[in-house]
Amino acid sequence: MKQFGQQSTQLRPVSYPGAASRASLRHRLARLLRRRRRLLAALLFCAAAATIVQQLTPAPLATFEAVIAARDLAGGTTLGSGDLAVQNLPQYAVPGAAFRSVDNVAGQQLSGPLRKGQVITDAALLGAGLLVGAPPGSQAVPIRLADAATVALINPGQRVNVVLSTSAGLDQTISNQLLAEAVPVLWKPPANGQSQNLLPGRETDGLVVVAATAEQALKLAGASARGKLFLVLIDSS
């Protein structure tokens, strides 16, 4: 029996607005993550791989313009605009003495043959560049050979002995003198025998240019007027 004045009370759970909806949202999100976990893992892997590739990819190489041979060119060629081209090359592939403009090269003459695509430097042209890399004090000395056909047997870089052959008359004993030993050939005329830039208006058959020391240059200068000059090809190794 209930006592007078007492009321029966029953505890009820307290609910807050929005609590159920937040719980439902968390449940749906967890379920979505479980369903898409492989996709998410793949996306994370791709992002990590892209970051690694970006870190390992080298920066683009700096390039420089350089004048190159537009085709195969023979030694002695007087260069025209059609023989030359300008190409962007990596810095490591451009020599310090390379030309950057065709205007600086056109009209000059090659000291030796060039393959298509080779960079043109001062060492490839007639002039002071012939002595690039030669020992200090070297001199470029032109000599005229008694047998012009010998020129066909040599190329720039070939080492030769220069021999002077003299005699007092037809019936006299021929004397041979070694004027220069193991000197490198720097230049020879083109196949047609003409060199418009080296000696304008003169035939250059039998004319070659060698690198010599100061002492050898004194012996070679004017030697062709004292007798006949011959080359002896030697082993360059």
DSSP type of residue 101: -
- Alpha-carbon span 209 to 87, nearest angstrom: 31
Do residue 98 and residue 182 come from a single domain? no
- Alpha-carbon span 148 to 224, nearest angstrom: 13
Do residue 164 and residue 214 come from a single domain? yes
Q: Which residue, 82, 106, 124, sits at the end of a domain?
A: 124
Residue 13 inside a domain? The answer is: no
- Alpha-carbon span 183 to 160, nearest angstrom: 6
For the segment 26-35, what is each residue's pLDDT rounded down to a tens digit? Answer: 777 777 666 6
The domain in which residue 188 lies consists of: 131-233
Residue 146 inside a domain? The answer is: yes
Do residue 165 and residue 198 come from a single domain? yes
For residue 155, the model assigns a pLDDT of: 86
For the segment 141-179, what is each residue's pLDDT rounded down to a tens digit? Answer: 999 999 988 988 898 889 999 999 998 767 777 899 999
Do residue 90 and residue 140 come from a single domain? no
Inter-axis angle of helices 37-56 and 19-35, nearest 10: 60
Do residue 105 and residue 142 come from a single domain? no
**% pLDDT > 90, the chain:** 34
For residue 32, the model assigns a pLDDT of: 67
Token pair, residue 65, equals 């313009």
pLDDT band at 236 (very low <50, low <70, confident <90, very high): low
pLDDT band at 20 (very low <50, low <70, confident <90, very high): low
- Alpha-carbon span 38 to 134, nearest angstrom: 69
Amino acid letter, residue 98: A
Do residue 141 and residue 89 come from a single domain? no
For residue 138, the model assigns a pLDDT of: 92
The domain that contains 104 carries what CATH number? Answer: 3.90.1210.10
Min mean pLDDT across 42-56, 116-130, 150-164, 190-204 is at 190-204
Number of other residues whose CB lies within 10 A of the CB of residue 112: 21
DSSP 152-206: GG--TT-EEEEEEEE-SSTTSPPEEEEEEEEEEEEE---TTSB-TTTSTTSB-TT
Do residue 103 and residue 189 come from a single domain? no
Structurally, the chain folds into a number of domains equal to 2
Residue 155 inside a domain? The answer is: yes
Q: Which residue, 124, 147, 165, sits at the end of a domain?
A: 124
Do residue 145 and residue 92 come from a single domain? no
